[in-house]
Every structure is written in C-alpha cells, then in structure tokens.
Structure 1
Amino acid sequence: MVTNDSSELVTCSMDDTLRYTNINKTEYSASDVVKMDFQPKSVSVAAGGLSLAVCIGQVVLLKNKKKVFTMDNLDYEAEVGALHPGGSTAAVGGADGKVRLYSVQGNTLKDEGKTIELSGAITDMAYSNDGAYLALIDDKKVTSVFTVADDYSVKNNFYGHHAKPVTLAWSPDNEHFATGGMDMMVFIWTVSDPDKRIKVPDTHRLHHVSGLAWVDEHTLVTTSHDASIKQWTIKY
C-alpha cells in the first residue's frame, strides 16, 4: 500500500489488480481498478500521477490510472520497485541482487544500463521522501543506503537483523528509516551514522513484522500476521 499526492490509497493484490481508493471518501469505484496481466508484487507512486507496478515477470508504468508502458520478457526476476518522488527514475530490485535504474521518459521506461549491486536478493526498497537517498534491504541481512545525487554511491551499510529483513519505511525527517524482519525485530536507523540505531525487539511475538509506516517523525506503526497493529513512540 502507498498513498499518492491525489489523496488516494494505491494498493496491489493477489487478485491481479491495482486499486485507487479515495482516502477522504473512503470508497472506490470500478473505474479506479486497473487489471494487470500478472500478479503484482509491489506498487510505488510519484509526482505527476505516476505509478509503478512490479508483477511476476513484468514491470508496468501507469499514468493517471492507465497503463502506458510495459516491460516483458525480463532476463531477471523482478521483486520490488520504487519510483523517485520526482518521477525521473524507476528503480527495480531483482532476485539476482541487482537494482536496475530505468529512466522515466514521458510514458516510457528507458534502460540506460545503470545498475546497483547488492549482496543478496532485494526484499524491499524505498526512496526517502525528499528523493535524496535510496534505501534497500536484501535477504543476506544487509541494509544499504545510496546517495542519489552522487550517482547512487554508497552512503552507508547497516547491520543488525538476525534473519531476513522484509519491510522498510522512511521517516518524514529523511534522516531515519525503519526496517522489520523475520527475526521479529524492528530497527530504526540513522542515515549518517550506522552505529546509531534503535532496536525494538519482539515487536510481534507470534509472527514477523509484515509492514511499517510512519505517522510522524516520532510515531511508527507496525503490522504483522498475528492480526495486530501496533503504534510505537520513537525517542532519539
């Protein structure tokens, strides 16, 4: 789930659709459902009405709820995508540990051969809200942050999870971000200092953390398959 600048909740699901739900009206119509050719795994949004859906074997760019460009016959298994907030770049993470950086040009995605290499399969990724950084987690338990303006050079690597991290979310302050993993733990990281971290153990005791979201700079929400939603106050 993500929210766009039109006050819509954008969701993708195992029913092979993307849905755009008006948050203020808390309702959606049939015209706001976009059918995918394959099951979507990930959805991302950016300015200008852009959405990016990473599906099984396919990457789809949408504009104003319409499919405008599709990439088929990929030579890698796409796992997760992230649009730069400005809408200039679409980053797609693969099971091969590589992130492809596609240039968004009008209604197309152009492959200019730019990639980022990580240690393992990408499990989640997100740009900071100001677009300055791209954070990624992989199944080798490594968290990495790259500086966008410096041609995606490595800012810092972060270590702490004992099992695969699966979800990531940026704080509104763009200085901190949270990761949650199969080890039932959540870490709050500081971009500029890998050693400065806040560990929240046993966030959900029955299942791993499945989702993270920030309400504000000091309030983090976690979800899990234990059928609970928890809210945490983060003090730095």
Structure 2
Amino acid sequence: MRFPACVLLALALSAPVSAQASASTRDSGDAAHLFAYWPKKGMEDRFDQGYRAHLRWHREKRDPLVWYGWYVYDGERAGMFIDGSFGAPFAAFDRRVDPAGDGADAGRNVTPNADTAFRASYRLRRELSTGVPLEQWRPSKSVQVFHYTLHPGTTQRFEAVLRAARAALQGRSDVPPHTWYEKLVGGAVPQYMLMIARDDWSSYDRYPGGLDGLLDDPTHRIDLAGAVAEVRAETWNYRADLSLVPED
C-alpha cells in the first residue's frame, strides 16, 4: 500500500515519548531510519525553508530524537535530500505524539515542495564498526557513504571480511571512524552501508576509504569478490540548518 508523502514524513518525524519524555535518547539504541526526498525543480529554496519550519514544529513538541539532514553531493543521486534518525531503539517509533498535527504541518511546509524518493531502516553493527559518531550526536561536515549489495547467502563471508577490516583499522589514528549498518527493510537486501566521517577533502589524501586497501589476506579478498554484487559510493554534505539535535 502506498502512502501519501505527507503521511510518510509524519511517520518519519513524529516524536516518540516515554515516561521520561525529556530524557536524552543519545546512543540508546541501534536503529537508523533514513528518509529521502527530491526537492522539486525550482523549489529547492522553498523546500529548505519549509523543512526548517517543520523542524521548529518538532522542537516545540520537544522531540527527543536526533534528526540529521544531508544533501547528496555526488553520484547518481546528487541533489537528493536525506534525513535520518540514529541511535534510538526501534521501539521509539512505536510511540508518537500528535501524529495528526505532525502530518498537517508536514503537508503545509514540506511535501508540496518535494517528491518522496525512498525510506529505509538499518541496524547499527557496533561489533563491525570503529566509531559511532552519529549515535553520539557528533556529525561530521560530510560523510563518505558506501552501499554494498550482496549476493544471496553470502552474509557470513562478507562479515568475516568486515571483521578483518576492523582489525586492520584498530589502533590507527590517521583513519576517520567507520560505522557499519545492515539494511533491514526498504530496498535490496542483503545490503550493508558504510559511513566514513569526513571533515575535509584533505582527509582523502591520508585515507581514500573502501575495503580493498584493508585486506592483506588473499582469502578475504576472494570472499569480498565473491560476496559483493554491487558497490556504490557517494558523499553526503551535512546541513546543520536542516537538522535537529535535541538539547541535553
């Protein structure tokens, strides 16, 4: 069943609450929810203005979730806006306040200026990662994002490669944090997303990213080649003015 874009946004941004609604949700869970939009041609500024207004609505409602906003800088999806919530439990999305009001505000301020591109949910894989800056509310100026789509039945081989890569990265101070997410719903699976925090282009001189340069064992190289059906890479530029980071 297809839902109108305003309903999707309402579900995306509705604030979860608990007995202590004002308590911080920072790094309290492993859910990562992404929602993406194509601003309509010629309406990019209006989209940004409307999205800021909608974030104000959530701030006034004391939404305890963090919401990051990025624009895709390069690749096939350049120009797409992606917002995401990280670090809360999946159960947080079962409890919302004023969903009707949320949907109404989104319908006024956001969805008239954009088309829904996708929505997807991931699970943070802490044991495969070297850092979790988004879960700790420390977004970088940009993020290098790899999407690895696997052949069916190769998950164990691929994760063995990731464990080897993590071991190679540990103890290196010249490498930015690597955070791995496993897609649960919202497109092709099995699929994994790697996010590498970047603060400037000079960091690519020190470390270009990707798995190939981290694997010395020929077996791991064979496993990587045999498991991965496709890999895509892109850069997401962080927009602090289109993000909501709750006050502690």
- TM-score w.r.t. length of structure 2: 0.30
Q: Tell me which protein shows more strand as a share of its residues.
A: 1
Structure with greater contact order relative to length (CA < 8 Å, sep ≥ 6): 2
